[in-house]
Structure 1
């Protein structure tokens, strides 16, 4: 990894909800970033997180205070998806780089606005997911790039869960426009597919939902019913620029799948890629004419990676080079997902306007 412009970059988190704990646990292991402040609409929660942070000296600030703080170089945007664009634009206006949780923004139009604002301001924007930088997807990519499966033909990506309301104490945002299984979990799978097979040129989709209400299963609101106003079961077919076809199956309605993984099929072999919501896992190959699956040795990716490795990689990317978790990649992934949903309601294929280069590979270690 190259050296960051400011090493380490000073990071301020906005939004310290459920996902923040995973990032906080990673900070002591990250070389290119240093956490200096946290902010939240709930100041009491911000103070509690600052006091419990595994890094000394973290300050609890209001959102406005953090955005104006000259000691914050990068805003780590962990707000809910519908707030991503607002916080990103405010951070950009304050002259700060932005790294956000997925998706980049709630809509493609917002994403275009954010990237245009960043370019005009001379700051950088990047976005999760960073799971694709781990040893699982990167080892699979190394195999594809080495020709281990021959010419790639197709891929399947499967994610099935009966719904996040079973465990999340405030799951409302999963079931409104901007939520649903595709926009929530799809970024892991679609980013992995673009990393493995390259950009997408068109999509077609279908979608449904089985229930108009969900019941919260944990926390102080357990038993409360919430409305569903977005699709909770989505399928799609992605046509990559290479000619390969990927099939998505994303559901908050079905019960389970034996493995939430990706399969890549080529002319001479097939690969099983581990769950892209994780960083590691076995990559298996079955070659033409062979009877069984072989587990490939780890050959690429950040070892023992966790949430935050993308932020660290972003901060360590030299000025003028494209970060692996670039805003352009995140916008392309967002357009793919939004277009699948548009196609589901129009019944026609939708061309993808944006494109993104496959991010640079992560060499072993």
Structure 2
């Protein structure tokens, strides 16, 4: 995957950049620019390739950032001309983040113009880190922009814990400065923007669970279907963790009158392989119950201890005296984000965020799927 990703930027990207800049800057020397890039770019990874082009731009554009920014802006698509778009603009992000820090308004204006053609969510973060108050004041002005990419940049670029991007420690500690941005976009007409708002709130919930639960409570009254989806998606980490107010916000009460039983298909799972299990719920009370069913796999770590990961299940309503059966299969297969260790593991079933029952099982060593089948027989 990494090998394929790095080819999103390559010699062709450098040549396209050279052509675009030459068309906007008469004193630009495209041959010298490419001589700085082409001999080395094939040996670099994706982000390094973008930075290589950004470094060459630094050497061949005017030292004055204001003048350089105007040239880069002229390389973007416009109604009367074609221009650079897509991954070719990663280097523009990197150039601006590296060399525009003393020119806040010009730099953010260029990133705003760039974002309809390629994301600028990584490029704006150094400016927020440098001067949070002034940067957020400018970014808040984007929430009414007619372009939905710009509106999304306002929410996505300010996420405290944006994946694969520099963290914003001040906003991790105190996210209140970005709440007005999220509130302004909570009913945006574009799902693309609303999903970003939900993800930002979910980021905040990891450090300030009560703040997000209160935010959801304030905004769920008379909410549209789209807003309710956003608020629930924003609460997903809190719901997995069984946060009482987050559960109550969506009608998931603490349950005492729903019995749950768990049956494993097999207590020894091969690798790769699947853990099959069945959950049976019985409402022994006198009222219908809304039940959120999740499960956690406690994976064995290298030191033999167990580390849980919660997986989303389903929500259902169970009438008094009724039962419901849920059959699940959980796959164990090689993935890049987890190292599996053979040995004792545990499955736990949660109703409305509270663990109700569980069962132990063994995971075989990689390649031992046959042994697991023999153990089952």
Same fold (TM over 0.5): no
TM-score when normalising by structure 1: 0.25
More helix by share: 2
Higher relative contact order (CA 8 A, sep 6+): 1
Rg larger in 1 or in 2?
2
